[in-house]
Structure 1
């Protein structure tokens, strides 16, 4: 199916000027002119605005993107009955959420050419079509949360943010010129900033819910929630960075990413944070195929490695210094320098399809009954009084989506979400009383579709692809 056919389906047949002039209409007229009919035909979701304003309304023309850009962040005027408007938007969400997403791969992202207006315009138009669909899927998930979850004011505020963004994004006109594309890029970057606190709010909300409703399971919801955020960030950042050429890069993808160098830099940062929190930090030794390079998104690799190293270093220090009964007391009293602690070992290898990074520590492992819990969003082996290292290391890498997750127990499951996003994974092998081996696998072929696609409802897993 062509991109143009999706465009016809998702773009409401309403000019931007019509939207802006809505605030000047009476409440009665605005209510009548709201989206009145939504039809689903195949993948396309057709919208039709029905008006009763005579010839003057029929004469309105579709304005330029420049007019839309100046007004897009003005709050949309709503009918006198705000609940009615919100309910109409919910109805649109439910209709559009039956549209399958079109998954990305690293290979397809690489087919968008940097500084090529035609290629970038095609990519931007795909994002304009795709974002409302993906937002509708996440709102669909919100609608099916247990009622007690949505009554939490923090979770509800995240829902409202998503709903408002969806309502704005679905109304955007097609992109026909480079000027349209530039305006769109500015818009989505500003729109993204309105979501800066959603992870923090969701983390607080989940913590509050778990305190009073321990039987509420939000893991599947949160996994798709974070998959969506990862995918949205990839889509937008790739488009933004492709506006200019940089040697060795294609957008946010480094064509020859030196994995060992990233691991070395992250280990230095995590050790510094660990030393600040505990006064000690185990050494990190990197071995294996240390010259290996592959095409990947370095920020993703850095986040994954950072989260695993944080756990490894913290566990090592605590196990050997904080009165653990499995450690000889005489040995424990002698640990005063970094060199007195067991090393954290990192091994790097590259196979035919996968890069494998093994991180091993002597931090005592995870008790068998708790092993499965480490993948639960909100679960943390760090107590409330022991979150200092999480907070100190939360500033690692300003481009990460993790800074506002410290202390919420999102670190390891989030790292796995990043690894899985383009076909990798994380596996943990715990040896209780000894330590833990963590195996990170990353697909370096670039042919794996994003994980969000496979986490959606089975009936929506159709063969619809991203551009390229």
Structure 2
């Protein structure tokens, strides 16, 4: 019992210590050069044993600021306990110098255990949000949206660092001999596009027995497909494209009558001096302008919720986390994901990536007074006049005239 209390006290002191620091963002170029030229297992250990506690402590501080009803939801409590346990495990290496091979091996194994522990964080947190909405409706949703964007970005960054160390120095082999950890120095964008489309099409044909064809168009002067390549993380790009393809395929199939000829999905790829842009165009009927921003709200989906009985195969749509997370993956390395639409015709989605790896810096949340203030108010007060559909404008003219009647 006394040993448990000592460990708990040590963890709390470590939490207070590391929460005061800001994360140190890295660029893709720095990660790539570290994996090929400048880095060693010991230097990676030295960096991670200090950086991971900072990133964990920062996001845990924000988690503690969440509304009490959400923190008490069992799924969210479970996620919180995972983070506390992982923080304590990393903290146990705080005073190690990394010169002992056994320490380095244990550290690499610990990182893999942490990564596996957090594998289902997205689904578990989604379950907690669903439970909260069922109990309390839309209350605190603006605060929750703010938190989830920062929470999942932090998760992406932590997994990125862990994967790099595990693939470079652990027992796990990289997916491709060319890869440096999980980074591909010559990520062939067109190959990833084709792979994501093929897998999304397979799902679409499973559900609808048909799917639109793909038309891939490149712009600019390129001698071969390999010229349209950048230093990037293929799994991140695949995630974005797969989600966009799933949405477009479903929209097109459902928009057109059965047995009709489906228009192709058009994907334009252009590598400029600063940006690599991927534009996906579909003719799936489009989205009303008022709903564009909702696409990036967690738990918003135009598809029916997937059935638990269908767990044998991946759902085509329905959870509402695909686009929000995809945009976070794009923004993580200073890119973006933007959606525009022509209601009644179709939707265009743009993925922007940095061509220069030294400009692809991590975009990380920082816990400070500004972020803490975002959790203090439960109600967001608008500083603009409301739209006609807003409840604030639901009062009749006669009510308003009585309200502002001059005194006699």
Quickly name the TM-score band, shorter chain normalised: 0.7 to 0.9
For residue 152 of structure 2, the aligned residue among 211, 218, 226 is 226
CA distance in 2, matches of 1:249, 1:211: 44
Q: Is the 8 A contact 2:270 2:278 kept in 1?
A: yes
Distance 1:87 1:170, change over 3 A: closer
The match for 1:270 is 200
Superposed CA deviations along residues 305-363 of structure 1, whole A, max 9, x for unmatched, are 0011111111111122xxxxxxxxxxx2xx426xx111111110001111100001111
**Residues 1:249 and 2:172 aligned together:** no
**Residues 1:437 and 2:342 aligned together:** no
Matching of residues 448-467 of structure 1 within 5 Å: 448-453=360-365, 456-457=367-368
Distance 1:219 1:88, change over 3 A: farther
CA distance in 1, matches of 2:201, 2:24: 40
CA distance in 1, matches of 2:351, 2:192: 14
Matching of residues 157-172 of structure 1 within 5 Å: 157-172=78-93
1:179: Cα distance to partner? 3.8
Distance 1:89 1:121, change over 3 A: closer
CA distance in 1, matches of 2:370, 2:68: 25
Q: Is the 8 A contact 1:121 1:177 kept in 2?
A: no
The match for 2:279 is 358
**Residues 1:139 and 2:60 aligned together:** yes
- In structure 1, the gaps of 5 or more residues are 1-26, 31-76, 321-331, 396-405, 461-468
Superposed CA deviations along residues 278-319 of structure 1, whole A, max 9, x for unmatched, are 122111111114721111111111111001111111111112
- Secondary structure at the aligned position of 1:451 is classed as coil
- Secondary structure at the aligned position of 1:211 is classed as helix
1:114: Cα distance to partner? 4.3
CA distance in 1, matches of 2:23, 2:49: 13
Distance 1:458 1:267, change over 3 A: farther
CA distance in 2, matches of 1:112, 1:92: 28
Q: Is the 8 A contact 2:111 2:166 kept in 1?
A: no
- Secondary structure at the aligned position of 1:313 is classed as helix
Aligned CA-pair RMSD: 2.7
Farther off after superposition, 142-151 or 360-369: 360-369
Q: Is the 8 A contact 1:375 1:412 kept in 2?
A: yes
For residue 259 of structure 1, the aligned residue among 183, 186, 189 is 189
The match for 1:205 is 128
Matching of residues 405-420 of structure 1 within 5 Å: 407-420=318-331
- In structure 2, the gaps of 5 or more residues are 372-408
The match for 1:180 is 103
1:444: Cα distance to partner? 2.0
Q: Is the 8 A contact 2:292 2:340 kept in 1?
A: no
1:119: Cα distance to partner? 2.1
Q: Is the 8 A contact 2:275 2:354 kept in 1?
A: yes
- Secondary structure at the aligned position of 1:99 is classed as coil
- Secondary structure at the aligned position of 2:34 is classed as coil
TM-score (norm 1): 0.70
